[in-house]
Chains A and B, each alone.
Chain A
Amino acid sequence: MNNDNDKGICLFAYNNEKIDYCKIATICGMLAKTNLNLPVALVSDEGTVSWLQETVDKKYIERAFDYFIVENVVHESNKRIHHDSPWFEFVAEFKNSNKHDIYNLSPFKKTLLIDSDYFILSNNLEKIFDTDFNLAMFEQAKTVRNDYPGLREIWLSDNGIKMWWSTVIYFTKNPLTKMFFELWNHVKDNYDYYQFLYKFPKGLYRTDFAVSIATHILNGRVTGDIVNNLPQNFMYFSKQEDDIFNVNDQTIFFLANDVRENWKDIPVNWHDQDVHIMNKQAILRHYNNFLEFYD
């Protein structure tokens, strides 16, 4: 691996028995390379990489990824309820226990770490590489139908700290960011204690909560500026209850669900703006449509 790379994108993809993350990561990688023109590294395990080579056409793999970083990790059980529209749900393992290792795994000096279901459809994030920020994430989010997220995705508890989204993390390698990722690891290792201290909901290990706590501690346990906002006012996301009904080039057509009245959807034409698509099965249903753009 060439360690002289100045800047690039990293993705994690660990398949589970229900969700084919390597297919999602392939679309994600191709969109990221097309719109940001940066090399992409995939962090995965042997099983997922061999499944990728078996099931995804070589030409798409070559277009999506420049580096493979094979990291076999024994993930602790972290079961999550996934929704595919409001009408269907399933339980699957959420393998996110080594996300903090990105500091050591990334081959780049300046890294943009994105979740594999964060689809880059604009060049907005290009601007982050013009800054001298050490660390940047999204603090605010909005859905594709312009709703704000639930209260626990804004604040960790009623009297608690603000939540930062770990969906997209930009960092430059230096002692400060090394400390941040090590602290994140410490929070993960002592998750029950920090759950008690910060009073966030029990259960699923959420990297959003871990990065928010690490940020709060490094800020001197007050609101501070150790982490900057990424160059967008919001992280836009489509909820697990939303569906995709069409994909055309780089335009995604969502059926955005009304959280208060689940039988109501509105159609949304989404383009030129990055989006975090939480309904993984909806992405997979349109896998071939996404690839068509690259044929």
Chain B
Amino acid sequence: MDERLQRSLEFSNYRLTIANQKNNIKNQVLDKLIVYFNSGQFIADPITLAYIKTLSEFNKEAIVLDSLRNPIKITNLKEFLEKLLTVHNESLNNYYSEFQKINRARNVKKLLNLEDYE
């Protein structure tokens, strides 16, 4: 095989593996962002955080739509906001550190954390 093509195909396979690892980590983070509170299901994303933060500045409790579009009575907005923030920060910190590991890896063995594997 032409050496130029072989090198390119090896790089292409490496990129495919990277893309898959990145997608898997993204899925992992999106799952971690799911929060249950007062029998509602929410996503600890920037929109929900900003919305609950705004509501909490004016009210102690409120009716909000959850991610399934059900009306949920949040009885303690401050507590809910704290929970959302904790989940959001933990998930994104984890995402960042996993993402950095992937970006630093220069070959498939490093990427998969398989340096000791024969």
Contact = CB atoms under 8 A, between A and B. Distances in A.
Pairing of A with B: yes
Interface of A: 122, 124, 127, 130-132, 142, 144-146, 225, 231-234, 236, 246, 251, 253, 256, 266-270, 272-273
Contacts of B114: 246, 253, 267, 269
Contacts of A231: 31, 34, 36, 41
Given A131-B39, A268-B20, A270-B24, 13 more contacts: A122-B31, A132-B39, A144-B24, A231-B34, A233-B27, A253-B112, A266-B13, A266-B20, A267-B112, A267-B114, A268-B21, A269-B114, A273-B31
Contacts, number: 64
B41 A131 contact: yes
A146 B23 contact: yes
A256 B34 CA distance: 27
Interface of B is mostly: helix
Interface of B: 13, 16-17, 20-21, 23-24, 27-28, 30-32, 34-36, 39, 41, 68, 108, 111-114, 117
Nearest to A129: B36
Query: Which of B13, B31, B112, B117 has its CB near the most chain A CB atoms (within 10 A)?
Result: B31
Contacts of B16: 266
14 contacts: A122-B28, A124-B34, A145-B20, A146-B20, A231-B36, A232-B34, A253-B112, A266-B13, A266-B16, A267-B112, A268-B17, A269-B21, A269-B113, A272-B28
A109 to B, nearest CB: 17
Can you list the 5 inter-chain pairs with the closest CB atoms, starting with the nearest?
Answer: A269-B112, A232-B31, A130-B36, A146-B23, A231-B34
B17 A233 contact: no
Contacts of A124: 31-32, 34
A171 B27 CA distance: 25
Given A233-B30, A267-B17, A131 B36 contact: yes
Contacts of A268: 17, 20-21, 24, 112
Contacts of B32: 124
Contacts of B21: 268-269
B28 A273 contact: yes
Contacts of B111: 269
Contacts of B41: 131, 231
Given A145-B20, A268-B24, A273-B28, A251 B39 contact: no
B108 A267 contact: yes
Nearest to B111: A269
Nearest to B26: A146
A127 B20 contact: no
